[in-house]
């Protein structure tokens, strides 16, 4: 986590009666970080997903309910805090229309969601010498917006 994100996190918890959680991650959305962060801050985007293989490749733990994240801009500036409320690992071709709508991207349809994610995953998987498959495992995350900077 960078210094600005850490300052934002500490300022957010200052003076609160609740104890500050020790674990927090800071990251930006993949395809278009600023636009997707704005969708979150506008209350439109309440879900996100990533390929399970990327967690394996980077030896990163999967998110879990209760986790906090600081959403960063393209320039790694903190924009908002979200809290994960639900995580599911499932094949991409079993993703629901309701989840696609919760991702809040494009025209909000399942078709848009599929096409955009297929294109994104093909490009990212190619970088790590993997091939896209319609049943690739996704880590599907639901979250709540906690704070906007």
The CATH number covering residue 134 comes to 3.10.400.10
Q: What pLDDT was estimated at residue 114?
A: 95
Query: pLDDT tens for residues 76-112?
Result: 999 999 999 999 999 999 989 999 999 999 998 999 9
Q: What pLDDT was estimated at residue 22?
A: 77
Place of tokens 């409320």: 85
Q: What pLDDT was estimated at residue 56?
A: 93
Q: What pLDDT was estimated at residue 88?
A: 96
Query: pLDDT tens for residues 30-84?
Result: 878 999 999 999 999 999 999 999 999 999 999 999 999 999 999 999 999 999 9
Q: What pLDDT was estimated at residue 52?
A: 96
DSSP 94: G
Our count of domains for the chain comes to 1
Q: What pLDDT was estimated at residue 15?
A: 84
pTM: 0.87
Q: Which of 65, 76, 79 is nearest to 3 (CA)?
A: 76
Range of the domain at 35: 3-13+21-148
Instruction: Note the residue count of the chain.
Output: 149
Query: What DSSP line would sit under the chain, residue for residue?
Result: --HHHHHHHHHHHTT-SSPPPS-EEEE--SS-HHHHHHHHHTT---EEEEEHHHHHHHTPPPP-TT-EEEEE-TTS-EEEEEEEEEEEEEEGGG--HHHHHHHT-TTS-HHHHHHHHHHHHHHHHHHTT----TT-EEEEEEEEEEEE-
pLDDT-derived band at 21 (thresholds 50, 70, 90) equals: confident
């Amino acid at each position: 986590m960078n210094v600005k994100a850490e300052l934002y996190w500490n300022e957010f918890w200052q003076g609160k009666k609740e104890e500050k959680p020790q674990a927090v991650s800071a990251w930006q959305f993949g395809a278009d970080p600023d636009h997707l962060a704005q969708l979150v801050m506008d209350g439109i985007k309440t879900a996100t997903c990533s390929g399970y293989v990327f967690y394996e490749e980077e030896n990163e733990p999967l998110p879990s309910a209760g986790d906090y994240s600081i959403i960063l801009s393209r320039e790694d500036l903190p924009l908002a805090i979200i809290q994960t409320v639900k995580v599911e690992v499932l094949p991409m071709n079993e993703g629901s229309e309701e989840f696609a709508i919760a991702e809040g991207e494009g025209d909000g349809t399942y078709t848009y969601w599929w096409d955009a994610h297929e294109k994104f995953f093909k490009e990212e998987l190619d970088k790590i010498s993997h091939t896209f498959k319609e049943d690739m495992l996704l880590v599907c995350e639901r979250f709540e917006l906690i704070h906007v900077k």
